[in-house]
Structure 1
């Protein structure tokens, strides 16, 4: 990994030493638990995109021009950076098909009721609210459900035709 400052390295070491539970231990902070469920690369910390995996959107991205580059890991989770800091993780349910989705403990659930039941059980501390198609602002026929963490981060679940999961996402902060 490449770091600009000693402070960045210190922050990473502190996060890794305190934010990761040992096998069998639960992660008590809901944001950290949700973050870890998507992938092992922690949000809000500097990282090297190439360490995550392959560039998923090829040459159609340019972080400097506002077209976010997405780095996909082996589990199919896409990672988006704001500068050197990992800011967003997202999962495309259609791309994964019937495969287990580790993010938010979704597993093989795909219907809205099943997914929300799993996510609410995984994150009981977070209120999950939904906006119906036409009010969600996500496009025709798309419902949106989500919740906000104390640190300002949030999760969003999108449901399309037949109330089937289309994507799950966690944002550490707003990137412009």
Structure 2
């Protein structure tokens, strides 16, 4: 899980001041996806308390075998593992309702075709494939769409039985 100094510098530059301004585009697709969820960079140590509130109670961490999840002011969940390394960012769409979702440039799209069009336009470098319900392994009626980045990270979008988005996430690395 070593990160080279140049990569850290690039990520810090990409995340300084939060997400990119509307006219700017982060060149690295993983950094772009990461920044779209929140200003806290994945795959780097963080101060979890700076993110927001701990949402899975007082008992979490390596000793308990439960990953610590911190929610920021916009409703994005941040999974912190090991030595306070940020591993996953996720959005539970039901919690946000019809509000704008900055993550992956989803905006107010909720139906599968609309969401995939937005995400593919936001990350044209990434091939996004889908597994239909019954093959996705995500539960009855749930379809899963996602794509991988060159650094080993990936995104995943889940759609319920009606084709409506239920969650979106970006993972920096496999945590289990």
1:17 paired to 2:13: yes
Instruction: Give CA-to-partner distance per residue, 1:21-72, whole Å, 9 cap, x none.
Output: 8633210100000000000000011101101000112235344222211100
Q: SS of 2:115's equivalent?
A: helix
Counterpart in 2 of 1:108? Answer: 108
Contact preservation (8 Å) 1:11, 1:45: no
Q: Which runs of 5+ in 1 are unaligned?
A: 1-6
CA distance 1:169–1:27, change in 2 (3 Å): same
Counterpart in 1 of 2:64? Answer: 65
Measured after TM superposition, the shift of residue 16 of structure 1 is: 1.3
1:75 paired to 2:85: no
TM-score by length of 2: 0.88
Instruction: Give CA-to-partner distance per residue, 1:70-115, whole Å, 9 cap, x none.
Output: 1000000000012121000000000000000000000000010110
TM-score by length of 1: 0.88
CA distance in 1, matches of 2:78, 2:47: 11
The correspondence of residues 118-137 of structure 1 with structure 2, limited to 5 A, is 118-137=118-137
CA distance in 1, matches of 2:109, 2:80: 28
> Counting helix residues as a fraction of each chain, which structure ranks higher?
1
Contact preservation (8 Å) 2:110, 2:165: yes
Q: SS of 1:100's equivalent?
A: coil
The correspondence of residues 1-176 of structure 1 with structure 2, limited to 5 A, is 15-17=11-13, 20=16, 23=21, 24-59=23-58, 61-83=60-82, 84-176=84-176
